[in-house]
Structure 1
Amino acid sequence: MNIDFVGRHVPLDDRIRTHTERKLERVLKFLAEPVEVHVTLDAEKYRQIAEIRLSHRHGTVRAREENADVLEAIDLAVEHLERQTRRTRKKTVDRRRRGSRFAAGVRHWPFDVLARESLGKGAERRIVKSSRLEIKPMTLDEAALDLESSRNEFVVFHDAESDKVSVLYKRRDDNYGLIVPEG
């Protein structure tokens, strides 16, 4: 890891350097390859600006934050970088997993959800129709397109982003609703 510091109107002392290096260690745990970091600190009237650019094999990530305190600006910029690197890392891992996980075919889910015991006392309701649904892995946008092109009122799909079974349905006000399981 190579860190370059540039200070414009900000004295670069060891306290700022060690604080920045310690905070950047959290971000660098998401990246296995060698990384080059460029930190620029700038001071204007009443604000301190921290700009951090992180270059690695897969691209460049940049964060720019400002605050009244230079250390707080650094902390905010590092948090921004951490969110970005975590998101890009998760995307690459999900892309690798997506191809092998669903290569065997589409999973089926039995739709016999209701039971007579769950209806309560004195209820004489019964299940009239039982169906089996195909649960396809797709993103939320793909599910919306599928729902738009079909006559169905809902789509049950395996959300590729959250790795959970979700339901997208049409509402009476011509909008969409999304049901995502907890846990």
Structure 2
Amino acid sequence: MQIEYTGRQITVTKAHHAIGDEGIERIGKILGRITTAHIVLTAEKYRQTAEVTINTRLQSIVGLCESTSMETALREAIAKAETQAIRHKDRVRAKKRKPKEEKNSEDSELARTRRTGRAMAIDASAAYPDEIRNGAANGNGRTKPAVPVTVHSFPAKAPIAEPHVVRSIDSVALRPMSLEEAVKEAEFRDREVFVFRDNQGQLKVLHRKRDGKMELIEVP
């Protein structure tokens, strides 16, 4: 590999060659094979610029840096190019690894399906040992293949939830009252059902229907 150096308004010294050759060699170990490498050093009044261009068969990397010292600018430009080379290598490695990971995922899914099928067959063997062992003969004298069956057990009788009963005192009037007083008392206590006795001692029940109207029930 040949490294080309170009100096613009500056003379390329042996120190520049040493820094550039070492950096390009280090990047070449990362990328593998480098076709061409070009380092351009530009000197201005208060600014020193180094540009490193590396070409491979599939990739082109450029590192550019400015500094007050040409040696510093060259080292930092090589460092930037080296960072790009590492990223490029990681991307290539990830692309090569991806099909293998997908294949491993498919193999794991297939193995999981086979384990599920074996588990279902074991359940069927435990539930019907004689049928699976002997088989059921058909008209041609052949035995039918065993079919995996999963057996579920259900309770013979569904449990019935016991009713939840709460004793309420607020729904019963403690003194006789008229119908108007009972309606007001039921509204005040916010009761759906209100039991009271009228002034003659007859037991009556007020019931609030779904439409909001109060229904009077007279107990015989």
TM-score (norm 1): 0.56
Once residues 51 and 96 of structure 1 are traced to their aligned partners in structure 2, the CA distance between those partners, rounded to angstroms, is 31
Q: For residue 10 of structure 2, what is the aligned residue in structure 1?
A: 10
Secondary structure of the 2:31 match is: coil
* Structure with the larger helix share: 2
Query: In terms of Rg, which structure is larger?
Result: 2
Q: For residue 170 of structure 1, what is the aligned residue in structure 2?
A: none
Once residues 36 and 79 of structure 1 are traced to their aligned partners in structure 2, the CA distance between those partners, rounded to angstroms, is 18
Once residues 3 and 43 of structure 1 are traced to their aligned partners in structure 2, the CA distance between those partners, rounded to angstroms, is 20
Q: Which has the higher contact order (CA 8 A, sep 6+)?
A: 1
C-alpha contact (below 8 Å) 2:30/2:85 kept by paired residues: yes
Report matched runs for 1:29-178 at 5 Å. 29-105=29-105
C-alpha contact (below 8 Å) 2:24/2:37 kept by paired residues: no
Secondary structure of the 2:30 match is: coil
* Structure with the larger strand share: 1
**Structure 2: any 5+ residue segments left out of the alignment?**
110-220
Count of matched residue positions in the alignment of Structure 1 and Structure 2: 108
Once residues 38 and 77 of structure 1 are traced to their aligned partners in structure 2, the CA distance between those partners, rounded to angstroms, is 12
Once residues 34 and 79 of structure 2 are traced to their aligned partners in structure 1, the CA distance between those partners, rounded to angstroms, is 20
C-alpha contact (below 8 Å) 2:34/2:54 kept by paired residues: no
Shift of 1:78: 0.6
* One-letter amino acid of the structure 2 residue matched with residue 79 of structure 1: A
* One-letter amino acid of the structure 2 residue matched with residue 95 of structure 1: K
Once residues 78 and 36 of structure 1 are traced to their aligned partners in structure 2, the CA distance between those partners, rounded to angstroms, is 15
Once residues 86 and 76 of structure 1 are traced to their aligned partners in structure 2, the CA distance between those partners, rounded to angstroms, is 15
Once residues 87 and 15 of structure 2 are traced to their aligned partners in structure 1, the CA distance between those partners, rounded to angstroms, is 30
Q: Give the percent of matched residue pairs that are identical in Structure 1 and Structure 2.
A: 24
